[in-house]
Amino acid sequence: MSTTSSASPRGKLWPWLAISAVIVATTYQLRRQGRRWWCACRQYTPWWGDIHSSHNSQHLFDPYSFTHILHGLVFYGLLAKSTPRLSPAWRLGLATGVEALWEVIENSEAVIGRYREATVALGYHGDTVANSLGDILSCGAGFVLARRHRARAADLDS
């Protein structure tokens, strides 16, 4: 496995601190934008499989989580090409940042308002904070999956 050349143990902490900061800031911003913590149904099941229900995008994971795993796979490929000198942890940080920014924009009043008419029947008022964090987590999982897969492919080559 290749890690960055001169990263001291303390230096290796920075990307993880950055990722934590992004997650805290995203949570804060989503709350400020008026998003709920969790589905109004108050059933604390992490997964909700029916996208045609008012529970969609309100629990931690739902079928849309897979599209966010896909984002992670794509980010891995793009960043491996465009930022080869960054450590994988920093690339994961970048991917997390972009995905988090997307969640904040997607859950702003302006964007929700645009789509509200179509989804008003389902009582949609934005993703919950839990769902946005689940999406970011899924993106991270996709990134890590891509990296594992690539590492294994490289092992087979040598």
Q: Which amino acid is at 46?
A: P
* Interacting residues of 32 by C-beta distance below 8 A, sequence separation 6+: none
Binding mask 21-60 for Zn ion (x = CB under 5 A): ------------------x-x-------------x-----
Determine the Cα–Cα distance for residues 124 and 158; give it in Å rounded to an integer: 51
Closer CB to Zn ion, residue 55 or residue 125? Answer: 55
How many residues of this chain interact with Zn ion, rule: CB under 5 A?
3
**Residue 146 vs residues 24, 51, 73, 138: alpha-carbon distances, Å:** 25, 26, 6, 12
Closer CB to Zn ion, residue 55 or residue 71? Answer: 55
Find the shortest distance in angstroms from Cβ 56 to Zn ion.
9
> Site residues (CB under 5 A) for Zn ion?
39, 41, 55
